[in-house]
Structures are given as structure tokens and as C-alpha cells.
Amino acid sequence: MNQEMLKKYAKMIDAYVKPNIFASCSPACGVLKHPYVDPSAQYAGNLWDWDSYWVIKAMILALERYRSDENFDYSGKREKLLLHAKGTITNFFDHQEEDGFIPMMITSSGPFMTFYRDEHRAGKRHNAHKPFLLQNILQICKYEGDYSWVDVNRAVRYLEYYEREQFNAKAGLFFWVDDVMIGIDNNPTVFFRPNNSSADIYLNAFMALEYDALTEILTAVGDSRAAEVSARGEAFKRHLNDVCYDKKDDIYYSHDLLFYGEEDRLVANGFLLHEWMIPAWKSMPMKIRFWGCFLPMYAGFCDKDRAKAMAQKHLTDPAVMANYGVRTVASDEIFYNLEKTSNPSNWLGAIWMVANYCVYKGLKNYDLSLSRDLAERSIRLLGENLEKSGAMYESYLPDTGEPCLYPNFFNWNVLVLEMLNDMEA
């Protein structure tokens, strides 16, 4: 991308983002007693776990990009951002159960207002708040320069709930309870699979980052539990490298935990089949290429040689890297599908800016030159859509850039500002 084109798209993106930074900010309402951030576009009145993390990250990027503008009122906007960011965390903590469970989403009114709380209290297990809560707390604390507002005991209980209720000790991997509201709605390594069976690499990579975030929070407040949490996190990351990286394919895979137990083995008139051979392996790789396979680079726990091999082998493959970025599922997988759907939103190949951003950050973490190419594709995608329709969208077709869902979707689209900053440097 030449400098003229970069300047053109940057100007269009800034003109769209700058006046709409607070499009996702919602006032306290109903059971959400504190101001918070919603996912944007069609999701007013909704508090979502991973969306709130990306929205707040995007808002921080925007405020910092425009802070030197004398007409911007940076101080006032920063105060408003912190009000809604902290309110987001407080709302989630308000709905935490005694055992540490926090729901994935809460609505100010309607069927999901208390649905997950009521289900949990009735003994019906669902996925807990996705592994973004501690990273969200940390980014807010770092931005404000203050950790005093954080209820660290609630934060610890949240992580301990995951370790107790969504962790397979034999396999050493975290799993989804079911396939509902996991973020990557129809991720084929989770979607319509049996409950408690999917040790998704996306889930596990972000769990590694939750350990890092809690360690940093506890260290900052002088909590003695920091060392123990750090040790658990480092051991977990070593295990992910041992188990989830496929040396033959040079990529990380999700794993299947669906093994029958010893009590289920066949006995024929006293003769026990498979008597002398119990599997040494505790999980089975699901060899499906989707964008989550590259998240260990984003999380920073794979070594540089692996990152380089993974990037060269897969991120230069047109089945993965499309005209406008990373296909959320590789086009040579049988699952590849570009239908424009909602409930679930379709992540079987479409471009989602959050996927582009995470892969971009992963490449940057390892100083790999492909990061610049991915930044250009992402900037061009948003710039062309703004030029044609004046809006950003929730997702896009990978080869044409045609929008799939919901115009005026800010959220993770605004993460492109980091790419712009890097390209302009």
C-alpha cells in the first residue's frame, strides 16, 4: 500500500471513528446497575464478556490516537471511558455466584436478564464468562494507573471456578461446557459437539493470558498469591506447547476430550477387552485449520521457531490468507461456508476484524514481516467499505470484502487503529 492510499484510508477511518468513540457506551439500566459498554450495532442493552474486552481496548486506542487534538477533550473522554469500563467489570462481579461463576452475558431486560444466574442456581451448568475478564481488568488498571478499585478475591474466585469446573485434569486442558455463546459462534471444533468434550485452542490460549493477567494484578496490589498463580500459568503454557502443537503440521490444534472410561469397556463372560493397553494419550487433536490455531502467537507462549514455521506454512497459504485477511476457517476445510447468518453468526470463513487483529498481533510479537501485509489488507478492507457505504460492518466476505452483517459495528473494527499507528510510524 503506497503512502497516498494509506493516508486516504486513515483519514476515512479517523473521520468515522472519532465522533463515534462512545457508540458502545450504555447507561445503567435494569439489573445492570452501573454504566457499561455493549457490543455496538444491534446489541444495545447487552453486556457481553469478550466484546466488552475488545470494545474497551478499541476505545483506549482511539482516545490515545486523538489525544493531541486540542478540540478533542481527552481528559473528559478518558473519564467517561473509565466510568463505563469499570462499570462493566462491576456489573459482572455483581452477578458472580458464591462458587465463582460469572455469566457470559447479561441483558438489562428480557429473557437473558437473569437466565444464566437462574440456570446455575438450578444446577444446570453453562459456560462461565469467557477468559477475558482478568485481561479486561488489567487493561483498565494500566490505562488508569490504579489497581485499588479491583476486588481481587472475586477475580481469584473466577479463575478458580474455571480450574475446578471447566478443566480436564487428565488432559490438562480447559474445555467448553457447551457450544453456546463461545464468541466464535460456530467454531467447528466446538459447534454441536457433545458437552464437556472440546478443549478448544482459542479457549486455552486466552486462559493462558488470564493467568498472566491475574499474576500481574496480584503483583501490583502486593497479594502473596501472585507467585502461585504465576507458577500454575507457566506450567499450563508448557503443557499447551507439549500437547497442542502438531510438529508434523506446524500448527496448534484444538483437542477432543471424548474418551470413554474404563468402566465402559466391554466384558465378555469375564474376559475384559483392551485389558493390557490403556491409551497413553489423554486427548485427540482436531486437525481443523481455523484462526484460533494461531492464537498461541498472540498469547506469546510458542517459541520463535514455531511461530516462524507456522506463519510461513499457513499464513502464506491462500486457503488461509484471503484478499482481506485471515479466513476464520481455511477454505480447504469441509466446514468452509460463507452464508450470511445470525444466531449463530457465521465464523466458517468470513473475515472478522478481531481475527485479523489477533493474528496481526501474534506476527508482531515474533517480529514477522507478514504482519505488515495483514495490516494493509485490514486497512484496505475497512477503507473500501467506508468509501462504498460509509460504514463498518460486523464481518465481511474474504475475497471481495463485501459486508456480511450489521452496519455501524464499531467494537473490534476500531482495533485497526493500532495497525494504522504502526504503519504510520
Per-residue pLDDT at 275: 78
Per-residue pLDDT at 267: 87
What residue ranges do the domains of the chain occupy? 3-259+282-424
Rounded to a whole number of angstroms, the distance between the first and last alpha carbons of the chain is 14
pLDDT of 45 above 70? yes
Please give the average per-residue pLDDT across 186-191, as a whole number. Answer: 98
Q: What single-letter DSSP state applies at residue 349? A: S
Count Cβ atoms within 10 A of the Cβ of residue 170 and give its class: 0-12 exposed, 13-18 middle, 19 or more buried.
exposed
**DSSP for 2-50, written as a single string:** -HHHHHHHHHHHHHHHGGGTTTTEE--BTTB-S-EE--STT-TTEEEHH
Percent of the chain past pLDDT 90, that is, above it, reads 91
Please give the average per-residue pLDDT across 345-362, as a whole number. Answer: 98
pLDDT tens string 96-144:
999 999 999 999 988 999 999 999 999 999 999 999 999 999 999 999 9
Q: Is the peptide bond before 194 cis (omega within 30 degrees of 0)?
A: no
**282, 170 in Cβ contact below 8 A?**
yes
Per-residue pLDDT at 317: 98
**59, 74 in Cβ contact below 8 A?**
no
Task: Give the contacts of 182 (CB within 8 A, at least 6 positions apart).
Answer: 127, 130, 176, 190, 200, 202, 203
Task: Give the contacts of 345 (CB within 8 A, at least 6 positions apart).
Answer: 185, 186, 394, 395, 405
Task: Give the contacts of 377 (CB within 8 A, at least 6 positions apart).
Answer: 323, 324, 325, 356
Per-residue pLDDT at 260: 67
pLDDT tens string 369-398:
999 999 999 999 999 999 999 999 999 999
- pLDDT class of 41 with cuts at 50, 70, 90: confident
Looking up cell 472440546 gives 198
**355, 328 in Cβ contact below 8 A?**
yes
Please give the average per-residue pLDDT across 191-202, as a whole number. Answer: 97
Q: What does CATH list as the number for 3-259+282-424?
A: 1.50.10.10
pLDDT of 43 above 90? no
Name the residue among 288, 113, 135 with its Cα closest to residue 201. Answer: 288
Looking up cell 469441509 gives 334
At how many degrees (to 10) do helices 416-424 and 370-389 cross? 120
Please give the average per-residue pLDDT across 47-72, as a whole number. Answer: 96
- Measured CA to CA, the distance from residue 345 to residue 228 in angstroms comes to 39
Highest mean pLDDT among 212-226, 263-277, 401-415: 212-226
Cell of 332: 480447504
pLDDT of 277 above 80? no
Strand partners, 395: 405
**139, 55 in Cβ contact below 8 A?**
no
pLDDT tens string 136-170:
999 999 999 999 999 999 999 999 999 999 999 99
